[in-house]
Structure 1
Amino acid sequence: MTDKDKRHGSFSRWMQHRMNARTNRRIRRGRGTFMGMDVLILHTAGRRSGEPRETPVAWFEDAAGGEDTWLVVASGGTTRHPDWHLNLLGRPERASVELPGRTAVPVAARVLDGAERERAWRRVTEAQPRYAKYQSRSDRQYPLVRLTPR
């Protein structure tokens, strides 16, 4: 990795942090949509540091999971899962979600697989076809996570 790559990576992380903070403020002011999708704030803790993290994440209704159940897709990037997903799995006891007008709700996370994942993935891509396009450009299968209140 060159010095230029390192600087670019730092800048990208800084920009992502700023964009996330701006989106989180919008969600807290009651505007929980982004690019036509519903968005929540996912609270996790860093899997190594234990530091609190807040990440805006698009969510989808989960008819199979019942009321107050959310589906989130660990997309973003083509070669590895996003940090929020790794943090969620690394410290699941610290996970919660915050929706517009609501306080944070502690959640349990379960990565879907098999036929259950396929049914849920179909619902996600019907609601937002862009996810099928993103998935087709990646070498990894995007994890689909069901969040339920605990």
Structure 2
Amino acid sequence: MKIGPETRAGRLAQRFSLHPMFQRFGPSIVPPLDRALHKVSGGRLMIGQMMLPMVMLEHTGARTGQPRRTPLATMPDGEGYWLVGSNYGRSGHPAWTANLLAHPDVAVTHRGKRRELRARLVDGAERDEIWPRLTTFWPGYAAYAKMNDPTLDGGRVLRVFRLDPR
């Protein structure tokens, strides 16, 4: 069975991911399912792969120092990856972004292959340059950014990270 954003199921999943009901309940349901599926498949499968390439990000908690595992959509690029802290369009930065700011040495598993990388926050001109590629790759990022308009009270700029080999 073929999966990915270009399939009929992938396009349907993309539309569904922007639905208010998904945004309310998806964040508490999908990541635990992705972690379980990732574990039983040896790192090769996650639900989110119907929409986008996925990685399992291994990172360290900013406050606790405890290891964390977070399934995330990614845009692979050469030897590295791009990650967007969209938080499913909800307000507030996702916890994993604070963890990367505090502890940038991470590992990812992508398609069953584990790699050690270093994360860095991308902002300013570099962020402006990559943002159109990211929103073309996954139009949901543009919708999520609009939901979090930084000019409005409680709004924020979605954090963008580049992960490169250490």
> What is the TM-score normalised by the length of structure 2?
0.70
Aligned position for 2:145: 135
Superposed CA offset, 1:13-55 (max 9, x none): 9756633423533663523553420000110011121111010
Structure number with higher relative contact order (C-alpha < 8 Å, ≥ 6 residues apart): 1
Moved over 4 A (4+): 12-17
Give the number of equivalent residue pairs.
134
Q: Which stretches in structure 2 are left out of the alignment for 5+ residues? A: 1-25, 149-154
Counterpart Cα distance in 2 of 1:26 and 1:88: 26
Alignment of 1:108-119 (within 5 A): 108-119=118-129
Aligned partner letter, 2:65:
G
> What is the TM-score normalised by the length of structure 1?
0.77
Counterpart Cα distance in 2 of 1:17 and 1:61: 20
Alignment of 1:114-125 (within 5 A): 114-125=124-135
> Is 2:113 the counterpart of 1:102?
yes
Counterpart Cα distance in 2 of 1:35 and 1:129: 15
Q: Alignment identity in percent?
A: 32
Larger mean CA deviation between 124-133 and 84-93 belongs to 84-93
- The CA RMSD over aligned residues, in Å, is 2.5
